[in-house]
Structure 1
Amino acid sequence: MKNVSYIFLLLALLAEILGTIGGFGSSVFFVPIANFYFDFESVLGLTAIYHLSSNLSKIFLFKKGLNKRLLIAIGLPSIIFVIVGGILTKVVNSNYLEIVLGLFLVTLSAIFLMNKNLAINPNRKNAIIGGSLSGFSAGLLGTGGAIRGLTMAAFNLEKNVYIATSAFIDFWIDFSRTFVYLFNGFIHKHDLVYVPFLLLIGLIGTAIGKKILHYIPQEKFKLISLSLILTIGLVTLSRLFFK
């Protein structure tokens, strides 16, 4: 296994733990990390496969918390638009979109952190809009969990409900985009050596994240989630700036 980077795998484990604690999945951390090791197409392919196992672990560990109403309102538009975004990866310059995504995450999370009483109306319309944007971003950039996290934060869900519902939505997003990326030729044979490691990391990282989450009070969960989203936005922008 001399061709395997164990530092990358360790960082992937950290991404999984943080993604579980934040409640929006590991791809928001995994994609920027993987970009340092692989080309953008390989990152998209590996992220989709890795995330399938990651979300199956969350579904198993948090399954009692599922909110079926949000699963439909956010999940269905996410699935539709992840396919659209995945198809457009062939023709759209991802650098411009990453800039927009970074600015969007930094601005919104900062606004919510500075004004704790501010909230997006937790209605069906906003759930559909948030689901569409997160699905489109996931298909095009490889990560949309932070946008979905901002949307779901508006509903002030109990942390187990938040994570379980997000994981169910994310699973179907990843299932859909895996086929699109496969068709696009983004899943490369030479990258598949990492898949068994990433599948195991998805399970271990989720289990560790759940144990840590047990010690985080509900009132601090939203604050941690928004702080992580702000960090992701800043990392996305800084990575583009220093390219």
Structure 2
Amino acid sequence: MGIEKSIWFLVLTLIAEIIGTIGGFGSSVFFVPFANIFFDFHTVLGITAVFHLSSNLSKIYLFRKGLDKKLILQIGIPSVLFVIIGGFLSKFFDNKILEIVLGIFLISLSLLFLIKDKLIIPPKFNQTVIGGALSGFSAGLIGTGGAIRGITMAAFNLEKSVFVATSAAIDMMIDLSRTVVYFGNGFITKDILWYVPFLFVIGFVGSWLGQKFLNHISQDYFKRIALVLILLIGIFSFYQSIK
């Protein structure tokens, strides 16, 4: 890839990181569609996992006061188990069909919680485990599970710092697992390694800028932003998959 395209890729990556931090569920839901413009599908899976290591470390550090250990375990453990399953199965499925299903799912649930804005699901064990399993499986299979985890955590109406920090910690567990799987699948190649230093810088800078923005918005507004972003992600995923 030429220098000009590489610059555009890094600029779009920074934008994805800022928006992902503001939305509370990470950058992969934006990063994956951007990266698909520049790389093939399997390379996108590999570079997403590598970038997210930096992105999530930054969020865990910047929002560390909001970490919820109980939710990390209840959502994180099934996420890790199912991201490994999804990662192995990623070699065998048509990603276009999966993106259509994901798009419809995100559009339906985000509209439900936007229309029924008083609807809150208590973060009980069954709900957290199911949300974690679905987000992990999606992350392994098509490269992004943040939107599903975002829907889950938005439904719980978590305070914004808890939302961002806990989501990042869970994402970190997922990324460590799928990076190993993707490396074994041959998705992380030498061609993308030179991007790694830039991606680590972008991960921190984007998370820091997103945190500054979040400091100036209310809890209710934060939840609506997260749901609107998830709705837009669903529409974009659906449109891109049928285009």
What TM-score range do you get, normalising by the shorter chain?
over 0.9
Distance 1:128 1:166 in 2: 14
Query: What does residue 39 of structure 1 align with?
Result: 40
Distance 2:142 2:182 in 1: 12
Q: Given the alignment of the two structures, is residue 214 of structure 1 paired with residue 218 of structure 2, yes or no? A: no
Deviations 1:160-194 (A, max 9, x none): 01111001000010000000000000011112221
Query: What does residue 144 of structure 1 align with?
Result: 145
Q: Structure 2: 5+ residue runs without aligned partners?
A: none
Query: What does residue 182 of structure 2 align with?
Result: 181
Q: For structure 1, which segment, 188-197 or 25-34, has the greater mean C-alpha deviation from structure 2 after superposition?
A: 188-197
Q: Displacement, 1:118?
A: 2.1
Q: For structure 1, which segment, 121-130 or 80-89, has the greater mean C-alpha deviation from structure 2 after superposition?
A: 121-130
Distance 1:239 1:133 in 2: 21
Distance 2:154 2:115 in 1: 15
Query: What does residue 166 of structure 2 align with?
Result: 165
RMSD: 1.1
Q: For structure 1, which segment, 222-231 or 185-194, has the greater mean C-alpha deviation from structure 2 after superposition?
A: 185-194
Q: TM-score, normalised by structure 2?
A: 0.97
Deviations 1:96-143 (A, max 9, x none): 111110100001001111111223342110100000000000000100
Aligned residue type for 1:21: I
Distance 1:2 1:38 in 2: 12
Distance 1:190 1:122 in 2: 42
Q: For structure 1, which segment, 116-125 or 167-176, has the greater mean C-alpha deviation from structure 2 after superposition?
A: 116-125
Deviations 1:2-24 (A, max 9, x none): 54611111111000000000000
Aligned residue type for 1:222: K
Q: Does the CA-based 8 Å contact 2:113-2:155 persist in structure 1? A: no
Query: What does residue 29 of structure 2 align with?
Result: 28
Distance 2:24 2:184 in 1: 30
- Matched length: 242
Q: In percent, how many aligned pairs have the same letter?
A: 60
Distance 1:57 1:118 in 2: 31
Q: TM-score, normalised by structure 1?
A: 0.97
Aligned residue type for 2:53: L
SS in 1 for 2:77: helix
Distance 2:133 2:121 in 1: 16
Query: What does residue 155 of structure 2 align with?
Result: 154
SS in 1 for 2:121: coil
Distance 1:65 1:2 in 2: 41
Query: What does residue 225 of structure 1 align with?
Result: 226
Q: Given the alignment of the two structures, is residue 240 of structure 1 paired with residue 219 of structure 2, yes or no? A: no
SS in 2 for 1:35: helix
SS in 1 for 2:22: helix
Distance 1:163 1:172 in 2: 15
Distance 2:126 2:178 in 1: 24
Distance 1:229 1:33 in 2: 16
Matches within 5 A, 1:9-20: 9-20=10-21
